[in-house]
Amino acid sequence: MERKNAWTTYSEEQLKELNALTDAYKAFLDAGKTERECVREAVKLAKAQGYVDLEEVKNSGKKLAADDKVCAVYMNKMIALFHIGKKPLEEGMRILGAHIDSPRLDLKQNPLYEDSDLVYLDTHYYGGVKKYQWVTIPLAIHGVVVKKDGSTVDICVGEKEDDPVVFISDLLIHLAGEQLEKKARVVIEGENLDILVGSRPAKSGDGRDADNGTEVTAESEDGQADSGDKDHTDNKQKEAVKANILAILKEQYDIEEEDFLSAELEIVPADRARDCGLDRSMIMAYGQDDRVCAYTSLAAQLDTQTQDYTCCCLLVDKEEIGSVGATGMQSRFFENTVAEIMELAGQYSELALRRCLSSCRMLSSDVSAAYDPLYASYFEKRNSAYFGRGLVFNKYTGSRGKSGSNDANAEYMALIRKIFDGNKVAFQTAELGKVDVGGGGTIAYISALYGMNVIDSGVAVLNMHAPMEVTSKADVYEAYRGYKAFLQEA
């Protein structure tokens, strides 16, 4: 059952729509390289379409009714958008769910150190990465520092044309004989993924102290340098590069070294989203797993008119590490927010909430592995996803014997087929590689705990979890079209 390449079907009008969508998507990727930034962008786009913050609605005393649009943000890392439908919420919603976290490097809480006149930031990688892919490439620092007084400092270094970048060094090929004998898993160790951020010492005349920017040299009562402070001075001079970096942080951001204790700083590729291929048919960018599904879901939600059933777009954090924590899908954020929505609509009871959640239909939107002819032995061709053939459905994910999988039922798959075929949306089905080769999971199994119908769907990706991932523009466009059709007809 080979699927047709979607590029062969497009009219000139569709190609214009495709290009407009993918240009907006690239801008979203550049603006949203962290989950916090994605939420900020989503809120901006939603409010431009008339969405109101849930807290504002609660404080106003207004009741929700059909056609109302409301969004809820949690800890600046999750967002749920609701477009209230005509039917009672007890009859269920139509949900598009995706995650907005991506593999990256996080700074440790005590990250800054100097060694041999070089200053580094110590990191801990987040999610599944091939560590060797992160060395020698330009990197940027994104995130927030929250000071003890509660004020928040936004950090973004490495994205502007005149910004400096940072990087992780690698051993030169001339000395790498022993290194190249190692397995790829350990050729770069996790503890060696430290970011080089400086090499220039503070001038002795600057008098910058490594801790607080104050004068280094102490004097005795007779005006001479106190011998008891000589060792202290020598130690400070030994860390003169670190002192310079701390002075820069103080000057530019008004932060101290201890402020790293309450910071969330992520190291991501500094490259921007780019057209890929001589035919410009693809997009190369960081974080397309899973922001390609997050953006197309969001765009579909914002472009959908009032439907019979309430439409919901849910963008969550922490999927790459098991959907755990307060901002992961396993938290009660979604359930609690639905309860709030039902209360504001005058429809809440514990039983009505349970009926609502179990009656929902959902597309758990996450990426799938694109077939790569250069690594053909890892795929089973009849059940692989291909570039340009549309949105991918994974009836089940998991690993090997479907372990950890949501396995959608046949009746639901039949409904999805009918909707997509009726709207001439290009789609395909796939598994994540050969049965015994590997596998992966999504948020689908967590949503399925409520008893709702849910199936994995998403865009095929090359280089998944690499610093720069690649998608087909046609698949991005078909994802948007498919998600919109689902909200309207499921």
State the pTM of this model. Answer: 0.92
For residues 256 and 304, state if they share a domain.
no
Taking alpha carbons only, the member of 243, 256, 452, 222 closest to residue 354 is: 452
For residues 263 and 400, state if they share a domain.
no
For residues 235 and 348, state if they share a domain.
no
Residue 139 in this model has a pLDDT that exceeds 50: yes
- Domain for residue 467, yes or no? yes
Write down the pLDDT at residue 401.
78
- Domain for residue 415, yes or no? yes
Residue 194 in this model has a pLDDT that exceeds 90: yes
- Mean pLDDT over residues 93-110, rounded? 97
For residues 247 and 320, state if they share a domain.
no
CATH number at residue 118: 2.30.250.10
Q: What percent of the chain has pLDDT over 90?
A: 84
pLDDT digits (tens, 9 = 90+) for 216-225: 333 334 444 4
For residues 249 and 365, state if they share a domain.
no
For residues 59 and 124, state if they share a domain.
no
Task: Name residues whose C-beta falls within 8 Å of residue 165's C-beta, 6 or more positions apart in sequence.
Answer: 138, 139, 140, 158, 270
For residues 238 and 109, state if they share a domain.
yes
Residue 370 in this model has a pLDDT that exceeds 80: yes
Domain final position from 269, 295, 322 = 269
- Domain for residue 1, yes or no? no
Write down the pLDDT at residue 436.
75
Strands (E), 58-135: 69-74, 78-83, 93-99, 104-115, 118-126
For residues 322 and 238, state if they share a domain.
no
For residues 310 and 260, state if they share a domain.
no
Are the C-beta atoms of residues 427 and 391 closer than 8 Å to each other? yes
- Residues in the chain, overall count: 490
- What is the torsional sign of CA 468, 473, 474, 476? positive
Are the C-beta atoms of residues 237 and 229 closer than 8 Å to each other? no
In Å, what is the CA distance from 216 to each residue of 117, 153, 247? 18, 27, 13
Instruction: Return mean pLDDT, the chain.
Output: 92
Find the domain containing 233 and state its range.
104-269
**Structural domain total, the chain:** 2
Taking alpha carbons only, the member of 153, 144, 159, 149 closest to residue 77 is: 144
Write down the pLDDT at residue 408.
83
Write down the pLDDT at residue 203.
83
Amino acid (one-letter) located at 142: H
Enter the tokens of residue 409: 């039922």
pLDDT digits (tens, 9 = 90+) for 37-78: 999 999 999 999 999 999 999 999 899 999 999 999 999 999
Residue 232 in this model has a pLDDT that exceeds 80: no
96: exposed, middle or buried (Cβ count in 10 Å: 0-12, 13-18, 19+): buried
Taking alpha carbons only, the member of 83, 73, 82, 81 closest to residue 39 is: 73
Amino acid (one-letter) located at 490: A
For residues 134 and 18, state if they share a domain.
no
For residues 242 and 358, state if they share a domain.
no
CATH number at residue 50: 3.40.630.10
d(CA 81, CA 71): 4
Residue 230's pLDDT band (boundaries 50, 70, 90)? Answer: low
- Domain for residue 130, yes or no? yes
92: region left, alpha or beta (phi > 0 left; psi from -120 to 50 alpha): left
- Domain for residue 275, yes or no? no
Domain final position from 269, 295, 329 = 269
Write down the pLDDT at residue 402.
77
Fill in the DSSP letter of residue 332.
S
What dihedral do alpha carbons 370, 371, 372, 377 form, nearest 10°?
130
- Give the lowest-confidence range in 228-232, 346-350, 426-430, 461-465: 228-232
For residues 326 and 407, state if they share a domain.
yes
- Domain for residue 165, yes or no? yes
